[in-house]
Amino acid sequence: MEIQKPKLSNIEEIADLQEEMTQNFEKCEIREKRFNELKEEKIQAEKYEFRNCIFESCKHIQSNFENAYFSDVVFQNCDFSNSNFSKAGFNKVEFINCKLTGCEWIETDIFNTYIKESNFAYVNFSESNFRDVKIENTNLQCASINEVTWKNMIFSECDLIKAEFVKTKLKGIDFSTCQFDGVIVNIPDLNGVIVNAFQALELSKLLGLTIKE
């Protein structure tokens, strides 16, 4: 699977995101900007579009990006914990070494997105749509991945302990390199899932099986 990478060019460094949003209030669109070590908190960016942008070492607790759209965007070394990305759209986006614990990503479209070495514990992805997405070496403990649809989805060396996959079809999804203990899943949705031998033993407990050594 090939994920389209963000295309970035003519990037201008900006010191104040809130001021940039105020200047573009009518269009609600921000293009070709680099935000580095921003100090603002609780950003209100509902329905804003971010195109060809870089967020680096930014720490914004409990910000609101509901119904926002991100295209050709990179987040690196950022902390957006407890922020709201529900009903947002992502296309050609990367999250590298980011912290988004406890974020709301409900009914979100996530396309051509790469998440690496990040902390997404307790994130709520419910009713979201994934397409051409790779999540690598990332903490997804206790994440809610309920009623999700996906196509071309890769999990590589992720921590999915106690994650929820209720009403989410797992056919063709390969979890064999991941930590998969204590997941919550409907038995019929396990049909076609790819796991290693140890994981298969753990999942057998959901079926009420007792395996003798």
Average pLDDT over residues 23-29: 83
CA distance 89 to 111: 8
CA distance 164 to 104: 15
Tokens of 125: 């992805």
The answer to whether the CB of 75 falls within 8 A of the CB of 99 is no
Q: Give the CA distances from residue 191 to residues 129, 137, 186, 195, in Å, rounded to whole numbers and listed in that order.
A: 20, 25, 10, 11
Phi, psi values for residue 52, rounded to 5°: 55, 55
CA distance 203 to 189: 12
Please give the pLDDT value at position 91. 98
> What rounded mean pLDDT belongs to the chain?
92
Q: Tens of pLDDT along 192-210?
A: 999 998 888 888 777 765 6
Domains along the chain with CATH numbers: 12-207 (2.160.20.80)
Please give the pLDDT value at position 212. 62
Q: Tens of pLDDT along 114-148?
A: 999 999 999 999 999 999 999 999 999 999 999 99
Average pLDDT over residues 147-168: 97
Q: Where is mean pLDDT largest: 7-21, 106-120, 177-191? A: 106-120
Its pTM stands at 0.93
